[in-house]
Amino acid sequence: MAPIFSTRPLYLQLRDVLTERIATGEWKAGVAIPNEGDLAREFGVSPGTMRKALGMMEGERLVDRRQGRGTFVKDQGSEDRTIRFSNIRGADGMRISGAVTQAHITEGTANDLECARLRLRVQDPVYRVRRVHSHEDRTFMIEDASMPAVLFPGLADSNGHSHRIAELAQQHGMLLGKAEERISIDQASPDIAEALGIASATPILLLDRVIETLGGRPVEWRLGRCHLASDSYLAEMR
């Protein structure tokens, strides 16, 4: 197909269109999408080009492809996806997310740190939520998270919203990309120490994490105060 309207590679344009169908929910989680051939015909491209677009989406973990079965939309709100941005692992090496007891969501305006991490301007509205993570009856992390309010319209008003970023993103038609986490050592303040069941001033991990959309826009900034005990933090490098 001649690049009449855009010189951008066809397979990238295709990926964007197909990704949009997932983000909007036109293609639902867990459901098979049309096969390569049909999609290629629909868009008037050759099968190989469509294949390249779908392969790229598999790399972005938007779809699963399996020989003989088909191409399936991944569930972005599932447990897997929630755990994806937690590097804390139990003694068995499995990722831990932990049950969360939620304090209510509050609304406010961005402070300096929120502006820097979420790339906002001063006074931009944000939602804030505290999450307490427990695993096997032990509280191991207290999180204070902030999200740009523009991305989550009406979040504080209504009930029934999840506090988990993966579900929130799904509900608001956003797809999560990568995250960065800065790790340092902190001392537990009295209230944090009490919540974690440790002595005040015990050294703990300070986990400063920013999650971005697939497009690179910051979605959530979170400060986690974590007492590992027998668990461990595991980073992979490639």
Q: Which does 47 bind (CB under 5 to 8 A by kind): a copy of itself, DNA, none?
A: DNA
Q: Does residue 179 touch a copy of itself according to CB under 8 A?
A: yes
Q: Which does 90 bind (CB under 5 to 8 A by kind): a copy of itself, DNA, none?
A: none
Scan residues 21-40 and list those touching DNA (CB under 7 A): 33, 35-38
What b/e sequence results for 19-38 when a residue is b if at least 16 CB atoms lie within 10 Å of its CB, and e otherwise?
A: beebbeeebeeeeebeebee
Per-residue contact track with a copy of itself, 81 to 120, x per CB under 8 A? ---xx-x---------------------------------
CB atoms within 10 A of CB 221: 25
Q: Is 236 exposed, middle or buried (0-12, 13-18, 19+ CB in 10 A)?
A: exposed
Q: Are 206 and 178 in contact (CB under 8 A)?
A: no
Tell me how far apart the alpha carbons of residues 161 and 143 are, in angstroms, rounded to a whole number. 18
- Beta-bridge partners for 63: 73
Nearest approach, Cβ of residue 79 and DNA (Å) = 22
- Determine the size of the site formed for DNA (CB under 7 A): 28
Tell me how far apart the alpha carbons of residues 22 and 194 are, in angstroms, rounded to a whole number. 43
With the CA atoms of 145, 167, 78 and 76 taken in that order, what torsion angle do they form, in degrees rounded to the nearest 10? -110
Q: Which does 70 bind (CB under 5 to 8 A by kind): DNA, a copy of itself, none?
A: DNA
Nearest approach, Cβ of residue 42 and DNA (Å) = 13
Applying CB under 7 A, the residues found at the interface with DNA are 1, 3, 7, 9-12, 33, 35-38, 44-49, 51-52, 55, 65-71
Applying CB under 8 A, the residues found at the interface with a copy of itself are 84-85, 87, 177-185, 203-205, 228, 232-238
